[in-house]
Structures are given as C-alpha cells and as structure tokens.
Structure 1
Amino acid sequence: MTVPKIDLHTHYLSPMYREALKKAGHFPGPDGLPYTPEWSPEAHLAFMEKNNVSKSILSCSSPGTHLIPSDDEFGREVTREVNEYAADLKRKYPTKFGFFASLPLPDIPGALLEIDYALDRLDADGFVFMSNYHGMYLGDPRLAPVYAKLQARRAIIFVHPTVPCIAHAAPLVDAYVLPAMEYFFDSTRTFVDLLLSGTAAAYPDITFIVPHCGNALPSVLDRVFVVSTSPLSISTTRRIHPLTAPVVKEMFAKQFMFDLAGFPMPSQIHHILRWIRSDRLVYGSDVPFTPEVAAEKALQAMEEELPKLFGEQEIQDVYHGNAAKLLAKTPARQFL
C-alpha cells in the first residue's frame, strides 16, 4: 500500500446527526441496518494512516439529511449542522479532510440557500446527493433550479444510493439489507434518469461521481440506447432524450467519475472499463459503513487486480492523481 490515496467515498456521523436519525425512526440503524456505525475523527485518521490515505473527502451517507418527508424545517436544521461539523473538521485538519456538503432536498428553496452557504461560507468541495429524495429521482425537472446554480458554480456532485422509492411496495426489497443489492439498483435507476431525461447533458459543467464502480449501469446501457430511440418512448410521461453509445462515452469522459468503493474486484471493474478509461476512476473506501476490515480486504483486492489492468502511472492516478485533478477544479465561489 505504498501509493498515497485520496478517498472520495467515505463518510462521517456527527453526534447531532445520530440523534436526528433516532428522532426520524432510523433505529437501530439507517436503511434497515442492524446498527449505526461508530465514527470519530480520530478513528478515521487512524484508518487513513494505516492504509496510506492522504486525504478523505467526507460526506453524509444515506438516508441523507431531509429525514422526515413533511418537515422541511428539520431537514434544513440537520443539513446545516452536518455541514458546519464537516467544515470545522476541514478547518482543523486542512490537509487531511475535505467534504461534500449535504442539501435538504427535496426542499428546493432550502437547497438553493444551502448551496451558497456551503460554498461561500464553509468552503465545501462539492455536494453529496442521495439517489432519490422521498421518491424524487435526480432527473426530475423540479430540480432544474438546483442544477442551474450548481452549473454556474461548476460543482461536483457525488451521488450516494439510498432506499429506493419502491422499498415498501416490493416484498423482496425488504428481504435483505439494502446495501446488498438495492443500493446498486437505485443508483442505476437515478443515473439512467439523469441520462434519459437529458439532465446530465443540459449541465455539462457539473461533474458527477458515480458510486460503486458504476453499479449496474454498464449492464443496462445498451438497452437504454435502444429504448431512447424507439417509437415506444413517445408513450412515456416524460420526454426521453435520445442516447447513443458514442454520446454517452463522450459524456463519461468529460463529466463523470466512477469510484471504486464496495467490492468491484475482480469482476465488476471489467464492465465499466468497456465505457471509460482509467482517468475516470477514483478510490473510495466507504468507511465506516463498510467496516474497516472489509474496506482493507477490498483494498487488498485492488492491489492485486489493478496491476493486471493498468501501468504504474495509471494506478497512481486511480489512487490519487485523478481525484487531485478533480478537486483542483474548485467550484466558483462568490466570496461574500
């Protein structure tokens, strides 16, 4: 583990956020998990030291910060608290921690206010979006004002999976812990929505970070292309943006990054490499929601598999260089 790493998929839990999860009924753990992971800055720094992670870009994981569908005020309160907490960590450990700010979506006015505050007051490195917000997926036209502001700021959006909107309608969804497979499906659902709705294409200065090595997206893209140009598409409730493989590959090459959190080795990595080059890959540990022991096993698998795929410089870029270049493109700030 000699190559230093920048971790773009890693999480934190403030003390207030833990209490907010309990208040909103996420007990004993969020998304059906049997516990809420323990987390502290000191423990996270120790993990980084042990695994040669030079910097972690922290984000609030699922279920996000708008925890009670009918309570925008509580959503704004939780969002501001977790963002302030992360900003304090960045100020205290500027070479070790950055953060992706949360937004209180689907509260659009609250999100617009928080974008300015997070960038101009808190020095956020970008934003974390859940794959859906109480059923509002990321290609939803109601999000246009949010994307317009983020486009003007040339922002980074890291997307994290959450509970699918069908969670209580399909019995099999509740049969297993959601991270086992439903996280993958919901991330895939929201990125297909971003592509088919034309949302991603409409905001080319936003960079999207796709979690978990693309999820199931590579497996469904060919089908998506056929559907997007089929006469059947005119019968849908939303206008479908025509897509082709060359167009999507170009978008991926300019506007999308794919993290290696989870367990993409030895199989899943090959699927995404049909669509992208190594310069679109970044490291992610997913701690503490992935326990440290499991994250270290995933990293060991990367150490074994990446040399079979890439040269030494490409591997260094996957671990560090690609993320460093992305973070160097800081969002436009107003410096109020």
Structure 2
Amino acid sequence: MPKRIDVHHHNFPPGPDVDNLYEHTPLGYTFPEENLPCTPEKSIKAMDELGIDIAILSLPDGWPIATKVNRRLAEICKQYPGRFGFFASLPDLRNTEDALKELAHALDDLHANGIAMSSSYGFGADAKYIGDDAFDPIWAELDRRGAVVFVHGAQTPSSTPYPHAFLGVPITEVPNETYKAAAHLVVTGKKRQYPNVKIILSHLGGSTVWLAPRVAVLSAYMGCSLTPEEIIEDFKSFYFDTALATSETTLTAIETFVTPDRVLFGTDYAAITPSMAAWYKEQLEKFYVDKPERLQDIMSGNALKLMPELANVSSRG
C-alpha cells in the first residue's frame, strides 16, 4: 500500500501555455528554475527525495487550456504507471456546456481521479465564484457521480495588487481566494445541496478555519438561511490538504476543527522546491510523532478512502 500520497502536486505545461495562464495577473512570485520546464522525471526525483509513492497532478489555474492539460496529464499517468494520478481541469465554467463535456471526457475516458477547480472563473467584475447558481448543472453532475473536487485559490490580485515584493499573489491572495470559494459554497447552500461531492480545499483551506466563525454569525445576520451552527457544520464537511500550511499552530487548529479523516498530505511541488516541501513535511511529522497512526492516515490513508482506486497501483520502488 502507498505510504505517502501527494494530492497537491502541480505539473505546469511547457512554453507559452503557462505564461498565458497568468497573462492577466502580476504574480509577484518566481517558480523555481530547476523545476521548469516540468517533466515527469523531475517530479519523480522530487517524490523519491520526499518518500512519496503517488502524486496527484493538477494545475492551480488550468481552465484556459483545460483540454490540452488533461490530455498531457493522462499521458503522464500512462507513461509512469503507479506513480501518478491527476485532477482534470475544466474549461471556463461560465460555458457550462463545454465544462460538462470535458468533465465527462476526463472522468470516463481519461480516468481522472477527480476534478480541479479554480475558486473563481473570469477576471475583475466578470468573475464568478464556484458557488454561483449558473454552475448548478456542473455541481449536479459532480454530485451524481460522487466526484472528488480539488479547489485551488485563483491567482487574483488585490487592489495593491499585492502588498510587498516578498508577499506576491500566491503568498497573500491565493489562500484567501480558497476561503472565499469555500464560504461561497457554504452560504449559498451549495455545500449542503450537493453533499456527495467530496471537496478538498488546498493549503489547509487558506484562511477558512480562522474565518468560518466570522461567516457563521455575520452571514446569518445578513440573511443566509442557515443558522450559525449549520454554517460551521458545512465548513467542517470539506477536506483539507497540508501543502505549505503545516506548523504546530495550524495543525492544532485543524485538529480541533475537523475529524481526522478530513486531512490529506500535499506538497505544492513544482511551485516549490523539494527542500521547501521537506520543511513542511518535517513539521507535519514532528507534530504527529506520538500519533503514528494519525500521521499515516494523513499521509495516505485518508486519500485512499477518497480515491480507493489508488490502492491498486504499485508502490514506490
């Protein structure tokens, strides 16, 4: 059985495709040069250094080139059996028909392990968060299938567009975009309306755990039909990956917020180096040094419950 499954592992497309993903966004972040261009061989080298058996590939914002990305990731899975799975990107959800077609193709034909979503689609005033009523047909289909959905915060700049050269969009804005998407799904009732969709929030949900109590009371006051207790209950029904988010404080918080089966291991490679990922892995292992069974559930057991097909692949080495 796999000992470590990385559910947050990016594979960026080569050349102009990755540049086109962020043409509207001044990221303020430099991807590690040694990781680019992304190749399966580089991922496997990083995985072996970190003791990772299987990585689930995805893009943080793959929707402008979703179909091309999905074909690429599916091919990597075929070329390196036992080492990779993938979360398929969808085209712009505002084009519901195309999104539904790619969803079916990715899950039925390419055998993706789930669907990757950005927290919102579009730019500026045209952007819509994923709990928008217009996306109900997509959520209904995901619910019918009992699909896994991996939600990553969009690379959306603030009005600054970010506060400092050391605090670019991926550092300050992406975690809050993840929270905004989660909160939108909760207060619109979508999380409750489509209970069979298993939603993973990246980076321990960003600021979700800290702000959920704020939403509970203030959104109810502003007219949300759910009670504060129901809002908190729905926030607790998400899954959370550990990428870039492990410390004594954050892990203590997530331990008190959700049941043990809701936390999954993630690294955020290739947006970071293996040594950076190792730092977070060490924090995780240190925190659970006296709870080896709990640690093993986070490292692979919880992912296997969500995606049992991963149990059938060969282990590392």
TM-score, scaled to structure 1 = 0.82
Change (3 A) 1:143 1:246: closer
Choose from 184, 194, 197 the match for 1:193: 184
CA RMSD in angstroms comes to 2.3
Correspondence for 2:212 = 221
Shift of 1:172: 5.2
Shift of 1:99: 0.2
Choose from 228, 238, 245 the match for 1:244: 228
Correspondence for 1:126 = 114
Which of structures 1 and 2 has the larger relative contact order (alpha carbons within 8 angstroms, sep 6+)?
2
Equivalence map 1:60-79=2 (5 Å): 60-62=59-61, 64-66=62-64, 78-79=65-66
Q: Deviations over 1:44-97 (max 9, x none)?
A: 1111112111111100123x232xxxxxxxxxxx21111011111112223110
Change (3 A) 1:252 1:314: farther
Shift of 1:24: 5.9
Correspondence for 1:33 = 29
Q: Does 1:323 align with 2:303?
A: yes
Q: Does 1:260 align with 2:251?
A: no
Choose from 135, 155, 162 the match for 1:173: 162
Equivalence map 1:45-124=2 (5 Å): 45-62=44-61, 64-66=62-64, 78-106=65-93, 107-124=95-112
SS in 2 for 1:158: strand
Shift of 1:204: 0.5
Q: Deviations over 1:241-291 (max 9, x none)?
A: 414336633x466x4211000032122122222211221111001001022
Q: Conserved in 1, the CA contact under 8 Å of 2:187 and 2:231?
A: no
Cα distance in 1 for partners of 2:297, 2:26 equals: 34
SS in 2 for 1:218: helix
SS in 1 for 2:307: helix
Gaps of 5+ in 2: 311-317
Identity of aligned residues (%): 27
Cα distance in 2 for partners of 1:317, 1:265 equals: 18
SS in 2 for 1:288: coil
Aligned residue pairs total 299
Letter in 1 for 2:50: N
Q: Conserved in 2, the CA contact under 8 Å of 1:260 and 1:284?
A: yes
Letter in 1 for 2:298: V
Q: Conserved in 1, the CA contact under 8 Å of 2:268 and 2:277?
A: yes
Change (3 A) 1:25 1:201: closer
Letter in 1 for 2:204: C
Gaps of 5+ in 1: 67-77, 235-239, 331-336
Q: Conserved in 2, the CA contact under 8 Å of 1:60 and 1:128?
A: yes
SS in 1 for 2:154: coil
Shift of 1:196: 0.4
TM-score, scaled to structure 2 = 0.87
Shift of 1:197: 0.5
SS in 2 for 1:204: coil
